[in-house]
Each structure stands twice: as structure tokens, then as C-alpha cells.
């Protein structure tokens, strides 16, 4: 009984890592759809989002069942509680990747991101994707140090976003109002993917150390 319990708990964590992989793929493919105006890839990201939502529902139900049947305590309870929050963050990151893909689809055959901001978005998307990867890997390896680094990556994200605003709000923005609105929302989506990766990393630290990291760099939700 206890062995199957530990296996169930460990398989929840393993599947959370798989869910993170699926989210990372969604972010990477959404970026490809966006920057290459690739309709097929956009459609595929949008339709794959329901699989991520299903993983959410299934993992949440397994966590609930562990709580109901096993009444875990201490580190194991922390793991289950953290898992229930992480699935929500991961489902949300999947939604945000789908939002990026929807803007790519809406503007097809044009590219939603104007030429002058392609380097910025290329970098922003890479930072976001790396943050998702680090969150998943630090969970898999129970690596609080790497999880802790994510708050720094998030500072880089904030700088990239500020730089977008400087370009958009300069007097000589050469593109349309529509392009500015797209850039504002797309930047927001990548920024939120990064935020959720940081929140997930905070939960990884909590699983390992029993304490949530505190301070301005660590949002609660």
C-alpha cells in the first residue's frame, strides 16, 4: 500500500514534468507561428491546448485522490499541495501560448510582429521558453538553486518588455495602431508565461525546502 502510494506520488511529479515539456513545446511552436506567420503551426498549437487542459484535470484529480486516500504529511503533503498549484500555472501557460498562436492566425498571411520588433520578440520568446524549461528541470532534479535563478531571468524579461514600450510609444512609431495593440498584448502574454514559470519555481523551492521564497521578485499568483 505505502509503496504504491509513493509510486503514485512520484508519478504525479513525473507527469508534471511531462506537462511542462508539453507547455515548452507549445511556447516554442507558438513563437514559430508568430515570427514565421505559419498558419498550420498556429492551428496546431491552438488545438493542442485542450490536451494540456486535460492533463490539468487528470493531475488535479490524482492529487485529490492522494489527499483523500493517503492523508500525506510533511514533505509529501507539500509535494501534493505544490503540484495542485503547479498544474494551474502550467494550464495557464498553455492558454497563453494558444493566445500567441491566435494572434498569429488572425494576422495571417501577414506577420503580427512588425519587422523592427522581430529581434526583441525572438529574444523574449527564447527567455520565456528557457524559463519554462528550467522550471520543469528544477522540479525533476529537485534543484532549488536553479529554480532560484528564475527570478533573475524574469528581470531580463521585464527589460525586454520595457524596451518594447519605448519603441511603441516613441513619436516615430512607423507602424499601425493595430500593430501596436498586437505588440502590447503579445508582450503581455510572454511576460505572463515568464511570471508563471517563476511562480512554479517558487513552488519547487517550497517542495524542497519547506519555505516559499519571498520578496518582490517572487509573485504569489
Residues that bind its own copies (CB under 8 A): 53, 56-57, 64, 67-68, 71, 73-74, 77-78, 81, 84-85, 87-89, 91-92, 95, 165, 168-169, 173, 177-178, 180-181, 184-185, 188, 212, 219-221
Q: How far is the CB of 1 from its own copies (least distance, A)?
A: 16
Nearer to its own copies, 38 or 92 (CB): 92
Q: How far is the CB of 148 from its own copies (least distance, A)?
A: 19
Nearer to its own copies, 38 or 114 (CB): 114
Nearer to its own copies, 38 or 82 (CB): 82
E strand or H helix that includes residue 150: helix 144-168
Q: How far is the CB of 161 from its own copies (least distance, A)?
A: 11
Nearer to its own copies, 3 or 216 (CB): 216
Q: How far is the CB of 63 from its own copies (least distance, A)?
A: 8
Written as one string, the DSSP assignment of 8-60 is HHHHHHHHHHHHHHHHHHHHHHHHHHHHTT-HHHHHHHHHHHHHHHHHHHHHH
Measure the CA–CA gap between 189 and 128, rounded to whole angstroms. Answer: 10
> Nine-digit cell at 41?
503551426
Nearer to its own copies, 77 or 126 (CB): 77
Q: How far is the CB of 77 from its own copies (least distance, A)?
A: 6
Q: How far is the CB of 115 from its own copies (least distance, A)?
A: 17
Q: How far is the CB of 78 from its own copies (least distance, A)?
A: 8
Q: Are 132 and 92 in contact (CB under 8 A)?
A: no
Nearer to its own copies, 1 or 68 (CB): 68
Question: Could you tell me the CA-to-CA distances from 52 to 55, 90, 211 in Å, in that order?
Answer: 5, 8, 28
Angle between helices 2-35 and 118-140 (to 10 degrees): 170
CA nearest neighbour of 52 among 31, 80, 22, 24: 22
Nearer to its own copies, 40 or 220 (CB): 220
Q: Are 186 and 103 in contact (CB under 8 A)?
A: yes
Q: Are 190 and 184 in contact (CB under 8 A)?
A: no
Amino acid at each position: 500500500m505505502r509503496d504504491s502510494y509513493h509510486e503514485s506520488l512520484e508519478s504525479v511529479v513525473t507527469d508534471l514534468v511531462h506537462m511542462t515539456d508539453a507547455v515548452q513545446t507549445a511556447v516554442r511552436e507558438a513563437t514559430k507561428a508568430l515570427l514565421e506567420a505559419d498558419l498550420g503551426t498556429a492551428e496546431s498549437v491552438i488545438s493542442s491546448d485542450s490536451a494540456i487542459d486535460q492533463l490539468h484535470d487528470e493531475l488535479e484529480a490524482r492529487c485529490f485522490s492522494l489527499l483523500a486516500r493517503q492523508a500525506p504529511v510533511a514533505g509529501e503533503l507539500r509535494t501534493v499541495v505544490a503540484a495542485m498549484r503547479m498544474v494551474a500555472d502550467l494550464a495557464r501557460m498553455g492558454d497563453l501560448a494558444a493566445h500567441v498562436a491566435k494572434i498569429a492566425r488572425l494576422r495571417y498571411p501577414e506577420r503580427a510582429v512588425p519587422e523592427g520588433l522581430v529581434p526583441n520578440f525572438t529574444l523574449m520568446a527564447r527567455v520565456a521558453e528557457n524559463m519554462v524549461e528550467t522550471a520543469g528541470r528544477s522540479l525533476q532534479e529537485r534543484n532549488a538553486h536553479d529554480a532560484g535563478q528564475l527570478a533573475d531571468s524574469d528581470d531580463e524579461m521585464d527589460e525586454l518588455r520595457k524596451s518594447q514600450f519605448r519603441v511603441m510609444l516613441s513619436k516615430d512609431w512607423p507602424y499601425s495602431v493595430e500593430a501596436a495593440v498586437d505588440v502590447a498584448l503579445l508582450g503581455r502574454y510572454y511576460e505572463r508565461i515568464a511570471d508563471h514559470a517563476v511562480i512554479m519555481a517558487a513552488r519547487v523551492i517550497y517542495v524542497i525546502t519547506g519555505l516559499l521564497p519571498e520578496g518582490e521578485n517572487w509573485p504569489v499568483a
